[in-house]
Chains A and B, each alone.
Chain A
């Protein structure tokens, strides 16, 4: 129960929390809530940076022009494919690697450090490594491997653009899934596994009936947080395909960027941004509920 902490403690000299908490709150409100309200305001107005004098209220005009544009739907589709595919790949791989690194073996710390390194690589750099040094159709390592095997080299980013982006982003985010799942695994009691082994459980049964249920909470956190982060992927696309070829890798954030900073159509971009926020909010509600529940139990445990 949270009763003990839900009530303010009456203690002598209780400091006023206003000047302790106030500045942080104020800064966050000024930099997140107000701009978002302005985004909504702009989404109902015509505002073209090239013709600044032509502006005014257009009602739902921007939303209509966005929703009737096939580019918008393509970008939504691309966003969902990217997020979905990366989620599947990172979780399957992350789970596999976490189980592998859960074992004790000599040099585990070093190997684990190497495995999680991609997560710390600046996204722009990882886009460049993949685009140039691995996937380049002439000089890339993959082209050379294909040739050595007697195959024709593939221009990955041109032929399989979305698959290539998924591979690149999955490489970066698998360590995140791995780290979280490994942390989740470490709270599993070894005795429970030993007991199951004693009772003659096969490794598969151990996995299916002990490990997976134990990881349910962790996996849901991984799915939701990754979704939040992946919905905003920008730098990787900017630095590798620039949304192309055609619109093959134009996701919603990239489309908003194009509308705002390539076409200077601020109103339409703002309308797109409102959709991006709605999309993120759908996931965020679940994340917050989960974290909130966790907060309560953690506090209850302490109180």
Chain B
């Protein structure tokens, strides 16, 4: 084996080792989700055990878990749909019909994302209280839509800009109006763009915890709040906690795996391509 080959081999090993270390806490949680409560806190930790689906079944069949799961789905999908509805026309107009204010508008939009949520939590809380929107899943959904709107606009804008203008012009010459141009021409060719913007928005909304902890309680709380309730759980319910967490993070982790590349674009507002 040549020197170069050996070094390469060692680097590969190191990369796998790093992957193992970074992934270990997640792996450990998955494992614990399949243990009985006794096995979960056994010392020394058990690598070999009789797997049980008890905790997972319990999480899935508990009515409040189902409700929180549903709340997560409503708020993540609902807010994404709403954000797309607002962002698609906005990104379309900025990408295809820029004006001298477009750059400024784009920058202003991300600047709202740089504002820390604690900067506005108090008035938002008071407004929600007065409107009786506290613990309302639709109000939280609206909040998430606004929270992700700048990211969605930017992701779409970055993609739309790369679509050749000729396609639009051809439709226009054929007499298509703006809405037809948008619906019939732009959307069919920008499926991947919309999908990746949506994926990014779903991930961010699903994992969000600041707004959900402060604006919801029993009825409207999504999984993030439910899982957080384990922090004060009496005794050690690690198997249940792990099972609940596992189901909570699994869908989004898969989406994250699929959206790695778009994620970089979306999260950096295109500053790194």
Q: Residues of A at under 8 Å CB distance from B?
A: 2, 5-9, 11-15, 17, 19-21, 23-25, 27-28, 31-36, 38-39, 42, 97, 100-101, 103, 105-108, 110-134, 138-139, 141, 144, 148, 171, 174-176, 179-180, 183-184, 187, 217-218, 221, 225, 228, 231-232, 234-235, 238-240, 242, 252-253, 256-257, 260-261, 266, 269-270, 272-274, 276-277, 279-281, 283-284, 287-288, 290-292, 294-296, 298-299, 302
Contacts and interface: CB of A to CB of B under 8 A. Distances in A.
B196 interface: no
A298 B117 contact: no
Interface in B145-162: 145-146, 149-150, 153, 161
Given A38-B120, A115-B22, A234-B117, 12 more contacts: A15-B93, A24-B86, A31-B120, A124-B209, A125-B248, A144-B43, A148-B44, A225-B267, A232-B117, A253-B117, A260-B125, A280-B116
Contact of B100 (A6, A24, A105): A6
Interface string B139-177: 000010110011001000000010000000000100000
A130 B241 CA distance: 12
26 contacts: A7-B100, A9-B98, A13-B178, A17-B99, A24-B149, A28-B150, A35-B124, A38-B120, A103-B8, A115-B18, A116-B256, A118-B26, A121-B249, A122-B224, A124-B224, A132-B236, A179-B260, A179-B264, A217-B271, A238-B213, A240-B231, A253-B210, A256-B118, A266-B122, A273-B119, A295-B270
B150 to A, nearest CB: 7
B32 interface: yes
Contacts of A27: 86, 145-146, 149
A120 B249 contact: yes
Interface in B221-273: 223-224, 227-228, 230-231, 236, 238, 241-242, 245, 248-249, 252-253, 255-257, 260-261, 263-264, 267-273
Nearest to B44: A144
Interface of B: 8, 11-12, 14-16, 18-20, 22-23, 25-26, 28-29, 32, 41, 43-45, 86-87, 89-90, 92-94, 97-100, 102-103, 105-107, 109-112, 114-127, 143, 145-146, 149-150, 153, 161, 172, 178, 203, 206-207, 209-210, 213-214, 223-224, 227-228, 230-231, 236, 238, 241-242, 245, 248-249, 252-253, 255-257, 260-261, 263-264, 267-273
Given A122-B249, A298-B270, A106 B12 contact: yes
A128 B230 contact: yes
A139 to B, nearest CB: 4
Given A111-B15, A238-B209, A238-B228, A183 B32 contact: no
